[in-house]
Amino acid sequence: MAYNDSEEFPTQVKILIAGGFGVGKTTFVGAASEIEPLNTEELITTASVGVDHLGGIEQKSTTTVALDFGRITIEQHGIVLYLFGTPGQERFWFMWDELCAGALGAVVLADTRRLEDCFEAVDFFENRGIPFLVAVNEFEDAFRYDEEEIRAALGLGPGAPIVLCDARERGSAVSALRSLIHHLLAAVPTPSA
């Protein structure tokens, strides 16, 4: 069967959704995605699968070594945006190399009750020069900090934006993605007039 390459195959872009265990990565991917969130397993050969510590995390009893996967098709521009929720625990980050290759940027989800849980992700993206923003997932019983307090607590430079979101709401998740694109656009030199 003959097919036209450019017609049939869309432009693919990838954004990573990172953050600590229980912060809402799976929820975020599921809310933003046009398909049911899928779970893609990577093959683990050396990592030991232990028990995550559960302090302060509600309704969460198991974890899998898996990537959450979602997609948003932008039909009118022939683009498919893929969302990958990355494995939260550092010991699984060997998977991140393939994930990070070619990623446009990342959303680091943070829970103000356990801000330190996203340090690893922040460091990781900073070290690799992958653009990211921090989206504070607002859990009801969490204390509300203002942006500067969060920035200071994360030791985040002025470069990375901080936005608020509710990972359960599609509009809110998509809005965090838009903020990330705005952030990327801000770093593109304007074409000289």
Binding test (CB under 5 A) with Mg ion, winner from 17, 26, 30, 33: 26
Contact predicate 104/182, CB 8 Å: no
Q: What's the CA gap between 40 and 82, in Å, rounded?
A: 13
Instruction: Pick the binder of other proteins from 51, 58, 141, 188 (CB under 8 A).
Output: 188
User: Considering the complex, what minimum distance in angstroms separates the CB of residue 133 from ligand GDP?
Assistant: 16
Residues, the chain: 193
27 binds Mg ion (CB under 5 A): no
Element (H, E) at 70: strand 66-74
Out of other proteins, Mg ion, ligand GDP, none, what residue 105 binds, judged by CB under 5 to 8 A for its kind, is other proteins
99, 107, 108, 156: which one contacts other proteins (CB under 8 A)?
A: 99
Write down the residue that tokens 């302090």 correspond to.
55
Query: Which of 3, 35, 29, 1 minimizes the C-alpha distance to 15?
Result: 29
Binders of ligand GDP among residues 112 to 131 (CB under 6 A) are none
Residue among 137, 150, 163, 180 that touches ligand GDP (CB under 6 A): 137
In a 10 Å sphere around its CB, with 0-12 CB exposed, 13-18 middle and 19+ buried, how is residue 175 labelled?
Answer: middle
Q: Are 100 and 126 in contact (CB under 8 A)?
A: no
Q: Among residues 167, 173, 176, 177, which is the contact residue for ligand GDP, using CB under 6 A?
A: 167
Applying CB under 6 A, which residues contact ligand GDP? 19, 21-27, 58-60, 85, 88, 137-140, 166-168
